[in-house]
């Protein structure tokens, strides 16, 4: 895929293990120009840890041209980030939303005990921010532009331990479909990438190690997916090569989502 001449905004890179970084890296290596955001640093953090984690990555690429702080719960900050990006690039060809959060206490307890405040926080950050970002970029997207977000199978089926975040992902999946309808007349596509478990910050919070073992035994491919594979697939959703695809939840999980039984895992249990 060639991204020469394509420009876009990447939201949600935390470190070099982030899926958003795997996708952005693939885009930039193919010639795309990217603007990035990072979590705001506290005023008393002289080392600016959040900014430094991302800048250590983006500084390696000449076509990583902007790095801005963003509190995604602040609509004014979202508009400001979009404004700076548009001022630099003009019309945007792609936007990647890779933002999610739930309080660790709520993630660590059974869903039935989710706090009201924790539920609101998780839904606001993990779901509403996609709506807010899409609204902010709506008038600034190029024809045949694309917006993509990150979801997970825990929004389609119950994945014990994923708890309140699974509810958020179910809402995010529905949001993708409704935004795809709203953005369709503008020629802009909205899709979601559903990756298998990976060792990211979010993955560790959700107990990824046990899930990696399960997927390795159950997935038709008999293995877990890599960051490079997810990066390629995410870039595809943001590239004109996927024109005609919208409102889609694209799984990249070795086929795990297609299984209706434990499959080959049963053989291991019997053995």
What dihedral angle (degrees, nearest 10) is formed by the CA atoms of 72, 76, 79, 80? -100
Strand order across the 141-151 sheet: 64-69, 33-38, 7-11, 92-97, 141-151, 189-195, 249-252
Give dist(CA 6, CA 65) in Å, integer.
13
Residue 186: burial class (beta carbons within 10 Å; 0-12, 13-18, 19+): middle
Q: Which residues of 74-95 are buried (b: 16+ CB within 10 A; e: fewer)?
A: eeebbeebbeebbeebeebbbb
The residues annotated with a catalytic role in the active site are 152, 162
Closest CA to 156 of 251, 45, 43: 251
């Amino acid at each position: 895929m060639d991204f020469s001449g394509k420009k876009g905004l990447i939201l949600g890179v935390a470190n070099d293990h982030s899926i958003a970084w795997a996708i952005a890296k693939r885009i930039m290596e193919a010639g795309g120009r990217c603007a990035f955001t990072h979590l705001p640093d506290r005023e008393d953090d002289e080392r600016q840890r959040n900014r430094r984690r991302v800048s250590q990555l983006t500084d390696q690429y000449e076509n990583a041209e902007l790095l801005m702080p963003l509190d995604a719960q602040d609509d004014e900050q979202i508009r400001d980030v979009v404004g700076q990006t548009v001022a630099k690039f003009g019309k945007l060809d792609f936007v990647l939303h890779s933002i999610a959060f739930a309080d660790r206490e709520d993630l660590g307890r059974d869903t039935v005990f989710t706090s009201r405040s924790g539920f609101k926080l998780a839904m606001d950050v993990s779901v509403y921010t996609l709506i807010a970002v899409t609204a902010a970029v709506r008038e600034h997207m190029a024809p045949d532009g694309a917006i993509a977000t990150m979801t997970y199978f825990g929004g389609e089926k119950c994945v014990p331990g994923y708890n309140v975040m699974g509810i958020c992902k179910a809402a995010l999946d529905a949001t993708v479909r409704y935004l795809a309808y709203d953005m369709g007349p503008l020629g802009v596509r909205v899709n979601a990438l559903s990756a298998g478990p990976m060792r990211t910050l979010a993955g560790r919070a959700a107990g990824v190690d046990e899930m990696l073992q399960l997927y390795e035994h159950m997935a038709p491919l008999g293995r877990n997916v890599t960051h490079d594979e997810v990066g390629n697939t995410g870039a595809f959703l943001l590239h004109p090569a996927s024109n005609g695809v919208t409102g889609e939840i694209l799984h990249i999980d070795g086929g795990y989502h297609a299984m209706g039984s434990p499959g080959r895992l049963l053989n291991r249990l019997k053995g």
